[in-house]
């Protein structure tokens, strides 16, 4: 028997051994109780949405503010220009994927086509991952849109591509559905 005080209250704790067998790790996210790579990917594939894993990892990084936008890069090293490549405002995950005029226009266009409500911030996009079967298309559309904005930005940044208008991003979204 152990007694201890916390916030003026005396607590009684009894430690009992439940069994004499050694503890073993159990993977509770699979019916076999054994970890497999397949069971892991089943867990990161939120809601059973059929999306290639590289896109799911990208979305997870977006939700946790970990993609390497200029503000995140500036935390690691000196970045001289923190401006968005589309609109010249300070680039952050939320700005690039929701707040930038290009992102807003793209999200609005996609929302109209698929009859979805346009997200205002990255956390709104994260809510799409609480999917049921009715929302699967919205999850796939969200991934395609985010990925297309990101790759278009990277094409401008690293490949020297020129920016014309949102048709570039919308074309990438449509090719996502054609090519996967």
Q: How far apart are CA 4 and CA 13, in angstroms?
A: 8
Mean residue pLDDT across the chain: 79
Report pLDDT digits (tens) over 97-107.
Answer: 999 999 999 99
32 burial type by CB count under 10 A (0-12 exposed, 13-18 middle, 19+ buried): exposed
Report pLDDT digits (tens) over 44-103.
Answer: 555 555 677 788 788 888 888 899 999 998 998 888 899 999 999 999 999 999 999 999
Domain boundaries, the chain: 47-179
Q: For residue 135, what are the CA distances in angstroms to 20, 25, 159, 166?
A: 48, 35, 35, 25
At 87 the pLDDT is: 93
Task: Identify the helix (H) or strand (E) that includes residue 3.
Answer: strand 2-6
pLDDT above 50: residue 133: no
Contact criterion met (CB below 8 Å) for 142 and 89: no
At 127 the pLDDT is: 66
């Amino acid at each position: 028997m152990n007694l201890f005080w916390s916030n003026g209250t005396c607590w009684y704790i009894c430690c009992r051994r439940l069994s004499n067998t050694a503890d073993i790790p159990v993977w509770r996210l699979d019916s076999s109780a054994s970890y497999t790579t397949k069971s892991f990917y089943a867990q990161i594939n939120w809601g059973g949405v059929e999306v290639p894993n590289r896109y799911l990892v990208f979305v997870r990084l977006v939700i946790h503010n970990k993609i390497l936008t200029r503000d995140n890069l500036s935390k690691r090293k000196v970045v001289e220009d923190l401006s968005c490549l589309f609109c010249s405002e300070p680039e952050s995950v939320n700005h690039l994927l929701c707040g930038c005029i290009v992102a807003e226009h793209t999200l609005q266009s996609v929302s109209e086509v698929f009859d979805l409500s346009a997200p205002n911030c990255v956390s709104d996009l994260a809510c799409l991952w609480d999917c049921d079967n009715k929302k699967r298309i919205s999850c796939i559309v969200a991934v395609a849109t985010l990925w297309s904005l990101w790759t278009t930005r990277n094409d401008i940044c690293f490949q020297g591509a020129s920016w014309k208008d949102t048709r570039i991003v919308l074309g990438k979204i449509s090719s996502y559905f054609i090519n996967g």
